[in-house]
Amino acid sequence: MCGIVGFVGTENAKERIVDGLKRLEYRGYDSAGIALPIDGKIQIRKHVGEITNLEKIIADDSFDAPVGIGHTRWATHGAPSDINAHPHGNQDDSIAIVHNGIIENYQEIREWLAREYGVQFKSETDSEVIAHLIGIYYDGDLLSAVNKAVEDMRGAYAVCAIAAAEPDKIVAVRKDAPLVAGIGRGCNFIASDIPALLKYVREVYLIENNETVVLTKDDITIYNDRGQKVKRDVFHVNWDADAAEKEGYDHFMIKEIHEQPKGIQETLMRRVDEEGNINLDGIAMTKEDIEGFNKVYIVACGTAYHAGLVGKSLIEKLAKIPVEVDVASEFRYRDPFVDENTLFIAISQSGETLDTLAALREAKAKGARILSVVNVVGSSVARESDDVFYTWAGPEIAVASTKAYTTQLICMYLIALYMGRTKGILSQGEYDRILNELKALPEKVEEILAKEEQLAFLAKKFHHKEHVFFIGRGLDCGVSYEGSLKLKEISYIHSFAIAAGELKHGTIALMDPDSLVVALATQDDLYEKMVSNIVEVTARGARVIGMAKEGRVEIEQVADEAVYIPSCADEVTPVLTVIPLQIFAYYVAKERGCNIDKPKNLAKSVTVE
């Protein structure tokens, strides 16, 4: 959500900032801007819409400097507009800032600045107050002014500031919003996410919560909240920068769908040795530890929450420990029963989701052991957890998560298998059976990807539907939620998922010839009940796409269209079932002409409540 890029060096800040902002487009944004100190004054250029709009207004060669900050904004306070776009300046544009997050007491600060200093505001944003605060406190020392401004602010923020009187530095501060500093040669960078920097640097400092950082072309100095210098280990980024390129695919989303066999293989095989033993990345979880857990909480948001629903079924079945799954934004506010006998599992693709991070902190304060499942190494969730289990999806650029979800599922299987086997609940034979099923998944996902044309055909046939229902039972129910989310977030179709057994309790009233139902029937012991549910909705005129395992051809007698997944054990169907739903959603959105990688109103990393 929003993107920050700053550069300080000896030449051409504009080019590097704009390039970095483009690499953060996946985070979601509605406007972009840049600020540079030129001839004793901060020059600000910003424009609503895509970065290409900004590029047109900064094309003049005279608009450049060796220092600058840039931003892509996702609107929270104030509608998308040129005025509300970042950067924001103070009264005389001697100070400029960019900001990710929300200043919760901005209205109070705004009124105080107007009353005591006669400040006149140009925008509707909460962020503008930061520039004015720094300007009020500025006496020639930007670091001091930023620190004083922070004392007045409540909320979550990553802020970067520049001053016309100090055109050789950037000062940045972080609280509950990601920030990294990139180490260059004769130059340095600041950004909200590592991909913005990969073209230029491979070594970064991960800025911690409540830290301030000062960047010049020669130095990066980090201070804690007591003003003391902090020594920080360098984090070396070993990602392949090309992983953030489309490589011939029309969109990142379809590229990432096709990368799932590799992601599943990497996430699985890095943790399973030749004897079939699971190594949870060195996490020390003994039999006594596991037996000491009286409850497991899985807390996440969005797609990660849906992975948690599957994780609940797996841990309860394989380890016989009661599990609650909660959305992080609800967990935070209901004083849950968490203590030192609780295992708290946080799932987050970015590792920066603010609600998940806040829930983690609350559970940790109550004594729970924190195990996080994240994709981004060094992220906030990872750093604040007791144990970290990384997915190996690689960079995920499209806003709609695909490969992160399937690798999260693999992590949940490994955690559940490890806990069940270590605890002694799971027999060796049952352990080996499920593990062998998991090992076969990458090849079976490839088989599904080979059916892409069939799913594209179904999308062409049904893309005009404005109401789509997803139904399933057991493990299929959790996958239904994810399939529905994928469709609604990129195609803007009203979509709704429900446990199939609940149809008669209200939802069946909505079934008519204009309805499309996607019915998942991959659980062998629930198959006949799902067939009955399909008959119920077709009797009301609804069209049905039925999904079942290969060999279950009788589904063709009750559904209008049938999609098959390779034969497998019921326990592992979620990994296979979701793939056709992702592909179907992608092609529906493509038929409707939607912005697939950057759907409206959505952001990749949600760092505000």
Q: Output the pLDDT for position 395.
A: 79
Closest CA to 170 of 153, 157, 185, 158: 158
For the ranges 53-57, 179-183, 245-249, the lowest mean pLDDT is seen at 245-249
What is the three-state SS of 226-272?
A: CCCEECCCCEECCCCHHHHCCCCCCCHHHHHHHCHHHHHHHHHHCCE
| Residue 378 confidence (pLDDT) above 80 | no
Residue-level pLDDT at 284: 87
Cα separation, 38 vs 298, whole angstroms: 51
Residue 491, token pair as written in the block:
């195609």
Architecture of domain 3-238: 4-Layer Sandwich (3.60)
Spans of all domains in the chain: 3-238, 249-439, 449-609
User: Average pLDDT over the chain, rounded to whole?
Assistant: 92
- What CA–CA distance (Å, rounded) separates 555 from 559? 6
DSSP run (H or E) holding 163: strand 155-163
Residue type, position 57, single letter: I
> How many angstroms separate the CA atoms of 70 and 51, rounded?
11
Of the candidates 100, 203, 104, the one whose C-alpha atom is nearest the C-alpha of residue 160 is 100
Mean pLDDT value across residues 171-183: 92
Asked if the domains at 249-439 and 449-609 fall in one CATH topology, the answer is yes
Query: Average of pLDDT values for 413-421?
Result: 96
Secondary structure of 339-386 as H, E, C letters: CCCEEEEEEECCCCCHHHHHHHHHHHHCCCEEEEEECCCCCHHHHCCC
Containing H/E element for 89? strand 88-89
Which region among 8-17, 61-70, 112-121, 274-283 has the lowest average model confidence (pLDDT)? 274-283
Per-residue exposure over 165-200, b if at least 16 CB sit within 10 Å of its own CB, e if not = ebbebbbbbbbbbbbbbbbbeebbbbbbbbbbbbeb
What's the token pair of residue 494?
Answer: 């009203």
Question: Tell me, what's the pLDDT at 165?
Answer: 96
Q: What is the pLDDT of residue 350?
A: 84
pLDDT mean over 228-245: 78
How far is residue 4's CA from residue 215's CA, in Å, rounded to a whole number? 15
Q: Can you tell me the distance from the alpha carbon of 27 to that of 48, in angstroms, rounded to the nearest whole number?
A: 16
pLDDT in tens, 564-591: 999 999 999 999 999 999 999 999 999 9
CA-to-CA separations, 432 to 48, 277, 439, in angstroms, rounded? 56, 10, 10
Highest average pLDDT, of 54-58, 204-208, 517-521, 604-608, comes from 517-521
In which band, very low, low, confident or very high, does the pLDDT at 239 lie, cut at 50, 70 and 90?
low
SS3 assignment for 192-230: CCHHHCCCCCCEEEECCCCEEEEECCCCEEEECCCCCEE
| Domain at 449-609, CATH class | alpha beta
pLDDT of residue 430: 95
Task: Provide the pLDDT confidence category of residue 229 given band limits of 50, 70 and 90.
Answer: very high
pLDDT digits (tens, 9 = 90+) for 389-407: 999 888 788 889 999 999 9
| Whole-angstrom Cα Rg for the chain | 25
At residue 602, does pLDDT exceed 80? no
Distances (CA, A) of 181 to 19, 71, 215, 330: 16, 15, 8, 33
The mean per-residue pLDDT over the stretch 261-282 comes to 89
Q: Which amino acid is at 107?
A: Q
User: Which pLDDT score, from 0 to 100, does residue 55 have?
Assistant: 92
pLDDT in tens, 472-521: 999 999 999 999 999 999 999 999 999 999 988 988 888 899 999 999 99
Give the pLDDT of residue 246. 74
Q: What is the pLDDT of residue 353?
A: 85
- Residues with catalytic annotation? 2, 604
Percent above pLDDT 70 for the chain: 97
What CA–CA distance (Å, rounded) separates 22 from 19? 5
pLDDT at res. 609: 52
- The pLDDT of residue 572 is 96
- According to CATH, what is the number of the domain 249-439? 3.40.50.10490
In tens, the pLDDT along 526-561 reads 999 999 999 999 999 999 999 999 999 999 999 999
Bridge partners, residue 223, by sequence: 212, 229
Q: What is the pTM assigned to this prediction?
A: 0.77
- How far apart are the C-alpha atoms of 146 and 47, rounded to whole Å? 26
Q: What's the CA gap between 475 and 195, in Å, rounded? A: 35
pLDDT at 607 exceeding the cut of 70: no
Residue 28 pLDDT:
67
Structure tokens at 120: 């006149």
Q: What is the pLDDT of residue 605?
A: 54
Separation of alpha carbons 172 and 271, rounded Å: 38
Task: Please answer whether residues 475 and 578 qualify as being in contact, where contact means their C-beta atoms are separated by less than 8 angstroms.
Answer: no
Residue 75: pLDDT above 80? no
How many C-beta neighbours within 10 Å does residue 278 have?
Answer: 18
pLDDT tens-digit map of 135-148:
999 999 999 999 99
